[in-house]
Amino acid sequence: MYLKISSSSSLTLILMLAASVYGSFHVPRVASLEADSAVALADLQDRAFPNAPDGYTPKGGNCSSTRPTIRSADTLSNNETSWLEKRRNNTVAPMRELLGRLNINGFDAASYISNHANNASALPNIAIASSGGGYRACLTGGGAIQAFDSREVNATNTGHLGGLLQSATYVAGLSGGSWLVGSIFINNYTTISDLLDTNSGSVWEFGNSIFEGPATSKFQIFSSAEYFDNIYKEVGAKADAGFNTSITDYWGRALSYQLVNASDGGPAYTWSSIQLQDSFAKADSPMPIVIADARAPGELLIPSNTTIYEFNPFEFGTWDPTTYGFAPLEYIGSNFSGGVLAENEQCVRGFDNVGYVMGTSSSLFNQFLLRVNTTSIPGVAKTFVEKILGAFGQDNNDIADYTPNPFYGYHNATSNIAQSRTLTLVDGGEDLENIPLHPLIQPNRHVDVIFAIDASADTNNYWPNGTSLVATYQRSLDSGGHLANGTNFPAVPDTNTFVNLGLNTRPTFFGCNSTNTTNITPLIVYLPNAPYVYQSNVSTFQPSYNTSERNDIVLNGYNVATMGNGSIDNTWGTCVGCAILSRSLERTNTPVPDVCKQCFQHFCWDGTVNSTNVSAGYEPPYKIGPINKSDAIRVRNAFPVLTGCLAIVVALMVL
């Protein structure tokens, strides 16, 4: 849905609208950016792959001799299986170093890893999951990833956890967590410090919201006009090529300007190109996965039995027994039918744009629609937002449209979308499973331990209360087999118990005693967002952050993951090592060290329940203390004023 006007007249209209908002102004002459863009693109060739054939627009072409097909989800793909052989081997050295450093007294963890180095099935299999929650989740999760990354300064010092990222097999993100995962991997498996580095021009510049765009010229109004004009033209070209577009196209393109280190937000960068990057191809990095929920047109709320889809560098699809299939991600814009691509059909590439994938996992616009009447924004801005979202909602365009449906005619007997030419997806947290655990608990992946970073906004003050873990646990109990697909999840208490026992303010292990379950589950190391050094409970809908606030939220996330570098509990590092080893020790019939038994007594949920209703004014105290009192003071639940740039968005989309 977009205005059908020429490129030149579209820019003129935008500038006229901007003038009507800001008053008259002089438009400076701006030289062509083509030369600068060419230089920038050349510089970025070694960082990622802008390999789409026509920028943001998907385009058909000849297929290879082996035509792409849809495969059943009975097993892992051949690509993932081959990659795992290299990755599991590459985790041995960093895992040996990490565990040897974590001081598991009475147990030679380094020798244990070395002794089992040639048997991947005996070694610990680690995954990391970063929740949704907008920029709050992206930055909090970023702090945790920074703590886990041995490439970061001081990350391997006493009390720190550097090396856990290098030891992990999978890293999953959802919504704001997908921005984190995507930004790391599409920028060539970069570090959080590099994304924040203002000396070299940081990638994560969140001072200007997506309603303004980056400052590329002396006058912000001209920068904004050019920004929206570029997005408008790119989405319009996709529609002109015959592909359905939705508000997620605009959302994803805007996000890319903040997350992708490339000119104009990298319109030609694809998620499948991650598999071509040197770090991933050599299995020197974990596998990035992001997820989204299926949503039928017209649905405003997502049921708990929705189908969950995942995007990994090789494939797009679902393990759920309904559709139960995967498509090669590089070709998902192609017209599959019955699991095959007819001989007269072209192979379409470029549909899996990185911004569109991240935007699909974080399509929060319907949540704006649900909350806008209770959100504190200026009246005129509220009118604009309601008009935008109402118009798109009425046409079911607040979703991400994956037409043509790759699974059309596939598994007709069980799939609820097999007879639909359209597949529509939304934010992966709308089924309440806001931590992306689903792809990590699949039996075929054999994950032992999941470090689950939770920056959800479950309470009135935007702190987590375990809702996501409860939702995943309840889904795993599906006795009819329509959802679970053989997945198992450890028991967790109700959300009131999480708060009443403080399980949402400190690390907690779930699933410590695997003998209590019929099938072994992964051990969940729950890392909830809490105020260690900063009040990081910003609203999911706060769209901009100055550098100081951005960095402070990241620092708080670092402290969440390390328990203040061990200052809150000096056993934490040791106990992280015990959690990593737990399932492996069981498989190899190795006695559990006494220090680990003490860790499990201390950090494992013991089954205690306190379901007393939690006070509406829930506000946890600082764990350590504010970095600086003036920095820590914040007006709660405030939505920054959306300026006249929002009128530009209206001009682009509400017609």
* Count: domains in the chain: 1
Could you tell me how many helices (H) and strands (E) the chain has, helices first?
22, 14
Q: Which of 136-150, 422-436, 634-648 is modeled with the greatest confidence?
A: 136-150
Three-state DSSP class for 59? Answer: strand
Q: Which residues pair with 292 in a beta bridge?
A: 309, 427
Does the pLDDT of residue 641 top 80, yes or no? no
Inside any domain, residue 34: no
Q: Measure Cα distances from 643 to 255, 377, 391 in Å.
A: 18, 11, 21
Nearest CA among 154, 157, 146, 162 for reference residue 196: 146
The mean-pLDDT minimum among 133-142, 245-254, 328-337, 627-636 falls in: 627-636
Amino acid (1-letter code) at residue 370? L
Does the pLDDT of residue 381 top 80, yes or no? no
Inside any domain, residue 619: yes
Give CA–CA dist 383/245, Å, rounded.
24
Q: Measure Cα distances from 412 to 90, 331, 418, 594 in Å.
A: 41, 21, 5, 54
Give CA–CA dist 188/457, Å, rounded.
30
- DSSP β-ladder status, 168-173 and 126-130: parallel
pLDDT of residue 208: 87
Give CA–CA dist 124/85, Å, rounded.
14
In this prediction, residues 586-600 reach a mean pLDDT of 97
Q: What is the pLDDT of residues 474-521, one digit of tens each?
A: 998 875 555 668 889 999 999 999 999 999 999 999 999 876 555 789
With a CB cutoff of 8 Å and minimum separation 6, the contacts of 633 are none
Give CA–CA dist 180/594, Å, rounded.
37
Domain with 558 in it: 7-26+77-653
Q: What is the pLDDT of residues 102-113, one digit of tens each?
A: 999 999 999 999
pLDDT of residue 617: 80
Inside any domain, residue 57: no
CA angle 55, 58, 64 (to 5 degrees): 110
Q: Which CATH number is 278's domain given? A: 3.40.1090.10
Inside any domain, residue 68: no
Q: Which residues pair with 173 in a beta bridge?
A: 130, 290
Nearest CA among 265, 111, 108, 126 for reference residue 186: 265
Q: Please state the pTM of the whole predicted model.
A: 0.88
Contact assessment for residue 266 and residue 48, using Cβ atoms and an 8 Å cutoff: yes
Q: Which residues pair with 340 in a beta bridge?
A: 337
Nearest CA among 170, 540, 143, 546 for reference residue 363: 540
**pLDDT grade, residue 219 (50/70/90)?**
confident
**pLDDT grade, residue 229 (50/70/90)?**
confident
Give CA–CA dist 484/137, Å, rounded.
27
Give CA–CA dist 561/567, Å, rounded.
12
Inside any domain, residue 63: no
Two structure tokens written together for 387: 């008009």
Tell me the longest C-alpha to C-alpha distance in the chain.
77
Two structure tokens written together for 104: 């598991």
Place of tokens 């849809």: 70
Does the pLDDT of residue 561 top 60, yes or no? yes
Give CA–CA dist 89/96, Å, rounded.
12
The mean-pLDDT minimum among 165-179, 381-395, 449-463 falls in: 381-395
Q: Where is pLDDT greater, at 613 or 28?
A: 613
| Length in residues, the chain | 655
pLDDT of residue 272: 97
pLDDT of residue 16: 36
Crossing angle of the two packed helices 645-653 and 379-394, in degrees rounded to 10: 20
Which parts of 310-464 fold into alpha helices (H)?
A: 354-361, 365-371, 379-394
The mean-pLDDT minimum among 136-145, 326-335, 624-633 falls in: 624-633
Two structure tokens written together for 77: 């793909």
Place of tokens 């498996």: 189
- DSSP β-ladder status, 347-349 and 59-61: antiparallel
Inside any domain, residue 66: no
Q: Measure Cα distances from 410 to 120, 230, 324, 442 in Å.
A: 34, 37, 9, 21
Amino acid (1-letter code) at residue 313? P
Three-state DSSP class for 240? Answer: helix
Give CA–CA dist 464/454, Å, rounded.
7
The mean-pLDDT minimum among 51-55, 520-524, 616-620 falls in: 616-620
3-class SS shares of the chain: helix, strand, coil, % to 5: 40, 10, 50
Crossing angle of the two packed helices 547-562 and 134-148, in degrees rounded to 10: 50
Inside any domain, residue 61: no
Inside any domain, residue 252: yes
Two structure tokens written together for 117: 């180095």
Does the pLDDT of residue 38 top 50, yes or no? no
Does the pLDDT of residue 591 top 80, yes or no? yes
The mean-pLDDT minimum among 157-166, 192-201, 344-353, 530-539 falls in: 192-201
Share of the chain above pLDDT 90, in %: 68
